[in-house]
Amino acid sequence: MEVRVGIPRALLYHYYQPAWEVFFKALGSKVIISPETNKKILDQGVRVAVDDICLPFKVYFGHIIELRDKVDYLFVPRFISLGKNNYVCPKFMGLPDMLTATFNELPEMIKPVVDLRPGLRSIRKIAHQVGQKLGVGYFRIERAFRQAVQQHLEFSTEQQKAFAGGSDGSLRVAILGHAYLTYDKLTSMDIAGHLSKMGVNVITLEMIAPALLEKAATRQSKKLFWIYNRQVMGAAYHLLFEQEGQIDGIIQLTAFGCGPDSMIKELINIRGKKMGVAILDINIDEHSGQAGLITRLEAFIDLLERKVLA
């Protein structure tokens, strides 16, 4: 009988899902991914999560509820660092503990510690720890690991090709925010979809090579501590300086209650103002409404079009 491994469709799922799914399937597990975020999932998460936690984590709790009666294991990695001199948000570090404290009963969690400060070779060790927990042999784990790495590289390459494709002459607008905001249609209120319907070319930070993000982020005098926020800053600075004149506007998508998001937003606004690039700030929580968002988007695009024609 196949072991059922549940992966919540939230948070870091939006960065690594193809690799995770390939890995567990190659180990012989049945992968069950929760459905796209909907109102029911959001409401479930809001009910059980503490009030002052940010929206993406409330959404994650809702996805856990959606999966808990359908799987044998929940995959909840404990992310600490993705390399030297950087860390992820402390809430990611404590995510398994937060779930244990919130829910009386859950399936057993697969919760490897992801700390890449010693180097990328740590990933192989993590893969073998997970495989051994599921009772899989060394060589099968090694094959699964290689397939997952290849899948992640292909996924990243495909995202970057969209940026390299250039523009068809329409407005080019960047949506800068964490992937778990940008690519969750309910959480983001499908900003990317609305812009596409308006004929706008949408750019996200995942379309820019990580090396370029890191290089651009060094324009800030002090190296930013939080890696995902540093990537957002790197994307903004790359577009403002390296792609100067090729970007018409930036939309900053942030989560209410996220301190690092608030700080980065202000730093990017300062740079954007100096460069003469229009920036729209959208801060999202569970009470945000789509009607007001569409009105703001339409006004922003109208402003950009007038600026181009001026």
pLDDT digits (tens, 9 = 90+) for 103-112: 999 999 999 9
Provide the pLDDT for residue 169. Answer: 59
Provide the pLDDT for residue 158. Answer: 84
Q: Which of 62, 22, 63, 21 is nearest to 45 (CA)?
A: 62
Provide the pLDDT for residue 15. Answer: 94
- Burial level of 278, CB count in 10 A (0-12/13-18/19+)? middle
Provide the pLDDT for residue 221. Answer: 86
What residue ranges do the domains of the chain occupy? 4-158, 166-309
Please identify, in words, the CATH class of the domain defined by 166-309.
alpha beta
Confirm if 282 and 191 have CB atoms less than 8 A apart.
yes
CA distances from 259 to 53, 54, 59, 265 (A): 11, 10, 18, 10
CA–CA distance, 293 with 198 (Å, rounded to integer): 14
Provide the pLDDT for residue 172. Answer: 94
Same fold, 4-158 and 166-309: yes
Provide the pLDDT for residue 164. Answer: 55
Residue in this structure with the two tokens 């950009």, named with its chain if needed? 304
pLDDT digits (tens, 9 = 90+) for 248-271: 999 999 998 888 898 899 999 999
For the chain, which residues score pLDDT lower than 50?
Answer: none
Going by CATH, does the domain composed of 4-158 fall within 3.40.50.11890? yes
Provide the pLDDT for residue 198. Answer: 92
